[in-house]
Structure 1
Amino acid sequence: MNGIARSQKIAYTLPKLRCTFGDASIVPDVSVFRWDRILKTLSGRIVNRFEIHPDWAIEILSPEQRLKKY
């Protein structure tokens, strides 16, 4: 996804990123953020900790995993 979305500054995908917002955290297999929502440091690097929800979270279940409903 980054091959197209990142080069055109549409979105950025990150694998296994811990996203904490409020007092909850999720760690989806892939987190997708719209380009304009990507948090950066003053030097322009992507931050190490995201405290916002991803625009799209992708979880890939292996055959051994069960779907949890909340």
Structure 2
Amino acid sequence: MLPIMVTAAQTTLLSRKEVMEKLGVCEVTLYNWRKSGYLEAVKVGRKVFYRQEDVLKTLELHGDKNGK
């Protein structure tokens, strides 16, 4: 396999609900972040997922709304 394919296969994807809980934001905020490019999303079929490393990076840079 190509190196990029191996990396993609190892990436953990989180659902919208999981990301909302981790970041302490509502669905509208998460949607706005996706549309503005603040948090990149991955579409699998008709479902939207977020890469775990992108979510963790956002947490490190900005924290979450719950102060965790």
Say whether the fold is shared (TM-score over 0.5).
Answer: no
Higher RCO structure, 1 or 2 (CA under 8 Å, sep 6+): 2
TM-score of the superposition, structure 2-length normalised?
A: 0.26
* Bigger proportion of residues as helix: 2
* Bigger proportion of residues as strand: 1
